[in-house]
Amino acid sequence: MQSFVYAANPVRVIFGSGTLAGLPDEVERLGLSRVLILATPQQAQSAQDLASRLGARAAGVFAGAVMHTPVDVTEAALKVVSELGVDGLVAVGGGSTTGLAKAIALRTDLPQIVVPTTYAGSEMTPILGETRDGRKVTQSSPKVLPEVVIYDVDLTLGLPVALSVTSGINAIAHAVEALYAKDANPVVTLMAEEAIGVMARALPGIAADPHGRQARSDALSAAWLCGLCLGSVGMSLHHKLCHTLGGAFNLPHAETHTAVLPHALAYNAAGVPAAMARIERALGTADAAGALFDLASGLGATMALREFGMPRDGIDLALELAMSNPYWNPRALDRDGLRALLVHAFEGRRP
């Protein structure tokens, strides 16, 4: 018998093609009249487009979001929020932009409308990771959960294939770890298995035809489910390792998840037979770790952490960090096993 606690996060989700047209209505529904639109510098034009759609309801654009939500960027955005008398936030972009919206909401309680353009899934979680003096600290608060999420497949058609693949594997990682979470529950388990299969089938379709709406739509809806998984149950070894590696060596987020996931899964496999059966069924394989490695590398992903600039002597530091801060994992953390995992991910070997 499985005992569980289930709580749903109250987010209004709008999904489809052309759904961005509904943004002004959503702003109105929330009673907002002066929203600040957030983006990265690379997506400043998308933010301007949204501002044009909103007309007088747009108070301004802040296109300064960067990876890992540094507190100084949040503080610069907060200044703009107060100068412009902003009463709501609209974030258009990936996890970095969503992170900025969440960081502002944490401090101001301003309502957020998020328009995701990657598969990171942050928009569905009450989790915020922020970086101060090079250290990333994660917290969970209902204050950072967005009020509305508008998924518009059209905005993902131009997501470069390489980032689509790694972002898609990043999403799969949320679902994989949800299947063996300590606080797993039947609803999240159903979503996770479904999402892994849909995403794994969508990614080759995206690589073959990046503008194909069906594969893009499948990937985005799977990303939504994966984000729900991440926001509902606790993550284990894989997410903790990626967090540690990203913070210690400033490694790129989705790419790091992609290189680590097959090895973290191989490490945990023996301890989680029921989860492995679901992952293997979703992927149509008898070797989930190998299949994920083949999926990502076959679509051109870089599978060796050393190629992202991690130094070889960083393996020892990563091992110490991973062992020194204990957390729940379905298989006990043993030094030799973790070292082997890190060496394999560093070298990019197939698990």
Contacts with ligand NAD by CB under 6 A lie at 40, 42-43, 67-68, 93-97, 99, 117-118, 120-122, 125, 127-129, 155-156, 158-159, 163, 167, 230, 253-254
CB 168 within 8 A of CB 223: yes
Q: Shortest Cβ distance from residue 332 to ligand NAD (Å)?
A: 26
Whether 166 and 266 have beta carbons less than 8 Å apart is answered as no
* Least gap, CB of 101 to ligand NAD (angstroms): 11
Q: Which is nearer to ligand NAD, 138 or 325 (CB)?
A: 138
> What CA–CA distance (Å, rounded) separates 228 from 151?
14
Tokens of 107: 């401090």
Q: How far is the CB of 186 from ligand NAD (least distance, A)?
A: 22
How many Cα atoms are found within 13 Å in the side-chain-facing hemisphere of 302? 15
Structure tokens, 337: 């096993």
> Could you tell me the smallest distance in angstroms from the CB atom of residue 43 to ligand NAD?
4
Give the relative orientation of helices 253-268 and 335-347 as an angle to the nearest 10 degrees. 140
Residue with Cβ nearer ligand NAD (137 or 274): 137
- In terms of CB distance, is 94 or 351 closer to ligand NAD? 94
Taking the C-alpha atoms of residue 63 and residue 77, their distance in angstroms, rounded to an integer, is 9
Number of CB atoms found within 10 A of residue 326's CB: 10
Least distance in Å: CB of 123 to ligand NAD? Answer: 8
- With contact defined as beta carbons under 8 Å apart, do 176 and 279 qualify? yes
Can you state the angle between helices 71-84 and 95-108, rounded to 10 degrees? 60
By C-alpha distance, which of 302, 305, 300, 288 is closest to 351? Answer: 288
Tokens of 226: 């994966």
Q: Which residues contact 227 (CB under 8 A, 6 or more apart)?
A: 120, 121, 122, 123, 124, 125, 171, 174
Instruction: Provide the 3-class DSSP secondary structure of residue 97.
Output: helix
Of the two residues 137 and 277, which places its CB atom closer to ligand NAD in the complex? 137
Among residues 88 and 99, whose Cβ is nearest to ligand NAD?
Answer: 99
Q: Which one, 69 or 268, has the nearer CB to ligand NAD?
A: 69
CA–CA distance, 265 with 173 (Å, rounded to integer): 9
Ranked by CB distance to ligand NAD, the top (closest) residue is 95
Q: How far is the CB of 227 from ligand NAD (least distance, A)?
A: 7
**Pick 134 or 337: Cβ nearer ligand NAD:** 134
| Rounded least distance, CB 264 to ligand NAD, Å | 16
